[in-house]
Structure formats: structure tokens, C-alpha cells
């Protein structure tokens, strides 16, 4: 079997690692890949946004399936392009991917389908948006409607902060075209949970819930980031709650997409707030999350490749079953100096010695002309530890992250703290 994997981050490194565990004889090509993926696959220097180049690569390699990692190529229509060429592809059409690429569209779809979510209004003019924020009251959330690299949602504790965020997006062009239309959204209280659903467009196979940590520093302080770590599973999302999420979130959303002639196949990611009134959707994504993927996949004991291949071929997921390890994972992200505002590139990285049950997934790395591993992005590594308890997983992940040699590195030491508090209070 042969597969083409599109992407270059920690999510794609974790996918490559899992696919080869499932199918050791798999001939895997990655575009463009990264130094970690290069140890597992053949890498081709084709950008994730070069849909024509990726199509040419697929035609020359003839993979049995193409698996698309990031959201941008999906929003650009890579799945449509590949399906038109009769090449099996795992990922939704551009119209279906609007559930992530347009938060305004996603919010309207949720309201129409009865999916529980925060109330919100969309705006393109700053004064009207500020008036709406005053009506909602602080705290309030200001969101860029388009793709903003996981940084487009700003939680504002005061109206002054909300006004600045609105001006930054609608007047200052902080996120470019992605922020030309925004949502002013009600603030929801509770814990977050991320759930991936592998879907053929009708049936859904839910994966283990994970929890992302967005703030830069320990104690959930500092600026928002693309994610500084995650853990799995999340014990408060029990089987009954998961069934409720399937019935009230995934199935209605997929049904509404089909009715709107946007059938969604691939993986639908639901970012949830677990409020006093039950789970409510913060956002949908059209792909695996990062860094949650690096925490979830090491616990999946059954074959992921077979499910992805079936979905890419237009087959049903009914009959497939996901089996999970009873252990826990903690993923600690090691970020470059200056992240998230101005991450420094080109700093040399030295990895710690390999250890049992610790996986180091490359996110923002490159090889220098001198053959050295260096930083090439903000989030550099995702260090995942698997252990019998979350306390031990946190310890192992933190120790390995601490052993990474990188000037000015940043990482949190408290990933999984809510889950650990739950167990310590029992």
C-alpha cells in the first residue's frame, strides 16, 4: 500500500507514526514533511497550498489514499480536485470545510441545526461590533471568521479589551481577510474538551476526548497560542456524555451539511465547552487538531489506516471499531523563543535520548545547510508521554521537554492540571 500525507507539523508527524504502526510495509510520501517525518517517509518539497503541485505529485506516485492534515489545503479545495481526478482522498470538500474556514457560516449552521452553542452576532463594521459587545457585556469573545492559525479567538475580560480586539481585526487588519468579518460571541464558562469524529458523512466513530491548553504559561496565564499541550483522555467526558455529544452535536451538524449539499467526510473536530447546562460547541474544525492528535493517537490500539482508507473510498464506517489503551497521555509543546508574537527561527535544537513511552513529534523544525536541526516555526516539538496515570505521564513529558536543548525555549509544566486535580480530590 502507498499513502500520500499532506502537511508538515506535529499532527502530521503523529499521523505518519501511527499509520506506519498500523501498516509497517506502507510506502509513505509526505508533502512537504519535516525532519521528524523524514525518518519515516519520503518527503517531497511541495507546499500544502500548492494544490496543483500536490495533484501532480499524486498522479506521479499513484497513492492508494491521500490524507490531508492541515485546514488550508482543504479550504482551497484539494479534496474536490483529487476526487475530480478519481484519486481517493481523506478530507472534506471546500464547501464542507467552511464549517472551519467561516465561523460565521458555522454559527449559522449550528443555530439552524439546533446544535448547542454560544449566542453570537457577526459584524464587518467596528462601531456596530463594539455596540454588540456592550450589549453582551464582559467577558466577551471576539473571533475572526476566517482561518487565523488557531489565534483568531480573543477572550476579552473587559470592554476596553474587546474594543481593542475589534479595532485590531476590522480596522488594523490583524488577521488580514480572515478578520474582515468577525463574530462577537457570548463568553461560556467551563472546561474545554476536543473530540474528533471519523465520519463517512452519516455515521461517526468518536475518538477519545482530549483537552488543549491554549495559554502560553503555567496556570493558564499569558497570551493565547495555537496550543501549548494537551492530555487524553478527559475523565469528565464519560460514555453517557459522549453519547449525548454524538446525538446533539455531531449527527445534527452532519445532517445539516448534507441538507445544504455539503456532505462532510473525513474527521470532524468539535471543540466543546463543558458548561453547567451541558456541552456547547465553541467551534468546529475540518481536520485533526494540533496538539490533541499527538495525545490521542498513541492511545489508539486499533487500525486507523483502515478506517481512513474506507472513508476516502466512499465506504461506510459502520463495522469499524476503535479500541483504546486504558493508559493516559500528556503532550507538552516546546515553543521557540519569542512565540507566539515573533518566534525566532534558526536556533539549533538538540533532542534528548529516546525513552520508552515518550514520543517526540516535530512541529516547527528544519535542517540547516550545516545539517543541524533548527527551529522553523513557533511550536517546535510536541513531547508526548504515555503512562499508567496522568500524574506519571505529566512527569515524563515534562522531564523530556526539559531535556530539549534550545535557546530561549518555552514550555508549560502543568499540562493536564485539571485532570490531576480531579484525581487528587477524590
* The pLDDT of residue 142 is above 90: yes
pLDDT tens for each residue of 82-136: 999 999 999 999 999 999 999 999 999 999 999 999 999 999 999 999 999 999 9
Which of the following CATH numbers is that of domain 191-312: 1.10.510.10, 3.30.470.20, 4.10.490.10, 3.40.50.10470? 3.30.470.20
* The pLDDT of residue 426 is above 80: no
pLDDT tens for each residue of 313-367: 999 999 999 999 999 999 999 999 999 999 999 999 999 999 999 999 999 999 9
Looking at the chain, which residues constitute the CATH 3.40.50.20 domain(s)? 2-91
Looking at the chain, which residues constitute the CATH 3.30.1490.20 domain(s)? 125-180
pLDDT, averaged across the chain: 96
With H, G, I as helix, E, B as strand and everything else as coil, classify residue 27: strand
pLDDT tens for each residue of 357-409: 999 999 999 999 999 999 999 999 999 999 999 999 999 999 999 999 999 99
> Do the bridges between strand 120-123 and strand 89-90 make them parallel or antiparallel, or are there none, so unpaired?
unpaired
Residue with cell 470532524: 268
Q: What is the rounded CA–CA span in Å between residue 121 and residue 108?
A: 10
pTM of the model: 0.96
Would you state the pLDDT for residue 69? 98
CATH 3.40.50.20 fits 2-91, yes or no: yes
Would you state the pLDDT for residue 424? 78
pLDDT tens for each residue of 188-230: 999 999 999 999 999 999 999 999 999 999 999 998 899 999 9
What percent of the chain is modeled with pLDDT above 70? 100
Looking at the chain, which residues constitute the CATH 3.30.470.20 domain(s)? 191-312
CATH 3.30.1490.20 fits 125-180, yes or no: yes
Q: Domain 328-424 adopts which CATH fold?
A: 3.90.600
What percent of the chain is modeled with pLDDT above 90? 96
H or E segment at 197? strand 191-199
Looking at the chain, which residues constitute the CATH 3.90.600.10 domain(s)? 328-424
When mean pLDDT is compared across 32-36, 151-155, 187-191, the lowest value belongs to 151-155
Strands (E), 200-244: 204-206, 211-212, 215-217, 221-224, 229-232
Which among 126, 195, 114 is positioned nearest to 165, based on CA atoms?
126
* The pLDDT of residue 267 is above 90: yes
Amino acid at each position: 500500500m502507498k499513502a500520500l500525507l499532506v502537511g508538515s507539523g506535529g499532527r502530521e508527524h503523529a499521523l505518519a507514526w501511527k499509520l506506519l504502526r498500523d501498516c509497517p510495509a506502507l510506502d509513505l510520501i509526505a508533502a512537504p514533511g519535516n525532519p521528524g517525518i523524514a525518518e519515516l517517509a519520503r518527503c517531497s518539497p511541495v507546499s500544502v497550498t500548492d494544490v496543483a503541485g500536490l495533484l501532480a505529485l499524486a498522479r506521479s506516485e499513484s497513492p492508494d489514499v491521500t490524507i490531508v492534515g492541515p485546514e488550508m489545503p482543504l479550504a482551497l479545495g484539494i479534496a474536490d480536485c483529487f476526487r475530480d481526478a478519481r484519486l481517493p482522498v481523506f478530507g472534506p470538500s471546500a464547501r464542507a470545510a467552511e464549517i472551519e474556514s467561516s465561523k460565521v457560516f458555522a454559527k449559522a449552521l449550528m443555530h439552524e441545526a439546533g446544535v448547542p452553542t454560544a449566542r453570537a452576532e457577526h459584524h464587518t463594521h467596528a462601531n456596530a461590533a463594539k455596540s454588540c459587545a456592550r450589549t453582551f457585556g464582559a467577558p466577551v469573545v471576539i473571533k475572526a471568521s476566517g482561518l487565523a492559525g488557531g489565534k483568531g479567538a480573543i477572550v476579552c475580560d473587559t470592554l476596553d479589551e474587546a474594543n481593542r480586539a475589534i479595532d485590531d481585526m476590522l480596522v488594523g487588519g490583524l488577521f488580514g481577510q480572515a478578520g474582515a468579518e468577525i463574530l462577537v460571541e457570548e463568553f461560556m464558562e467551563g472546561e474545554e474538551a476536543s473530540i474528533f469524529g471519523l465520519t463517512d458523512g452519516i455515521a461517526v466513530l468518536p475518538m477519545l476526548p482530549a483537552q488543549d491548553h491554549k495559554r502560553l504559561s503555567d496556570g493558564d496565564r499569558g497570551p493565547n497560542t495555537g496550543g501549548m499541550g494537551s492530555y487524553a483522555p478527559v475523565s469528565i467526558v464519560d460514555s453517557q456524555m459522549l453519547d449525548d455529544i454524538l446525538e446533539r452535536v455531531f449527527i445534527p451538524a452532519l445532517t445539516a451539511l448534507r441538507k445544504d449539499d455539503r456532505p462532510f467526510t473525513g474527521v470532524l473536530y468539535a471543540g466543546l465547552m463543558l458548561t453547567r447546562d451541558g456541552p456547547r460547541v465553541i467551534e468546529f474544525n475540518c481536520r485533526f487538531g494540533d496538539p490533541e492528535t499527538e495525545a490521542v493517537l498513541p492511545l489508539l490500539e486499533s487500525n486507523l489506516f483502515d478506517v481512513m482508507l474506507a472513508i476516502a473510498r466512499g465506504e461506510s464506517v459502520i463495522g469499524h471499531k476503535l479500541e483504546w489503551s486504558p493508559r493516559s497521555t500528556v503532550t507538552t509543546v516546546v515553543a521557540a523563543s519569542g512565540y507566539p508574537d515573533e518566534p525566532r527561527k534558526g536556533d539549533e535544537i538538540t533532542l534528548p535520548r529516546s525513552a520508552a513511552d515518550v514520543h517526540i513529534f516535530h512541529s516547527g523544525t528544519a535542517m540547516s545547510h550545516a545539517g543541524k536541526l533548527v527551529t522553523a516555526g513557533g511550536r517546535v516539538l510536541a513531547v508526548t508521554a504515555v503512562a499508567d496515570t496522568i500524574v506519571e505521564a505529566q512527569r515524563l513529558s515534562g522531564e523530556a521537554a526539559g531535556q530539549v536543548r534550545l535557546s530561549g525555549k518555552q514550555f508549560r509544566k502543568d499540562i493536564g492540571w485539571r485532570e490531576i486535580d480531579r484525581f487528587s480530590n477524590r
